[in-house]
Amino acid sequence: MAMRLNVRSWILPLIIANVAVFALQMMLGNLFTESLMLISSDVTARPWILFTSMFLHGGLDHILFNMYGLFIFGSLLERKIGPNRFIALYLGSGLAAALLSSLFYARALGASGALMGVIGAMVILMPNLQLLFFFIIPMPLWVAGIVWAVLDSIGIFVPSGIANVAHLVGMGCGLLFGLWLKKKHGKIQRIISSKSQLTEEDMLEYLKSGRI
């Protein structure tokens, strides 16, 4: 029997965890940050830094931007797919982004890969959601997703201290997750619509699929 975590929402716990770790960074300094950040040469010896680096940030603007995005986009997506799927997507995207980043960067930190996973899934599930790109330009989410991907692709060849590869990997994970959910949702819908009366097994399968 699969174990399911009974959590109403992961958004606030994630924000609190990120802010708490950032506060420790400010109080304890570089030694603390370097003990938890992603250092590519240390991944084999200390694989847990793939996880811990997701909760570190390089400055106040870095954490404010990521936590604002997590609160806005994460809240919308979590209500649509449920907390269990949300946390799986968030952590999975962040870990994949960190792992691939270790092949390109000597050091990296931040929740951006995980956040881009959230945005990638939303591009598939809520493509027409309207937003203000850079808080100024109105556009649907699918267009913003393309712009983000193009900017990060350019950033790979024009280094600026940003782990653009992590952004692209995170978004790629989110896109794939969104496509999987959309396909599964369509299958469930076809099963339900083809029956005049639902069986207990049908209802259980529908409940297990989450709310999309």
Query: Active-site residues: which are they?
Result: 112, 167
CA distance 93 to 91: 5
Residues 67, 90: contact at Cβ < 8 Å? Answer: no
**CB neighbours of 19 closer than 8 A, spacing ≥ 6?**
63, 67
CA distance 107 to 97: 13
CA distance 106 to 161: 11
Cα dihedral sign, 62-64-70-72: negative
Strand partners of residue 107: 39
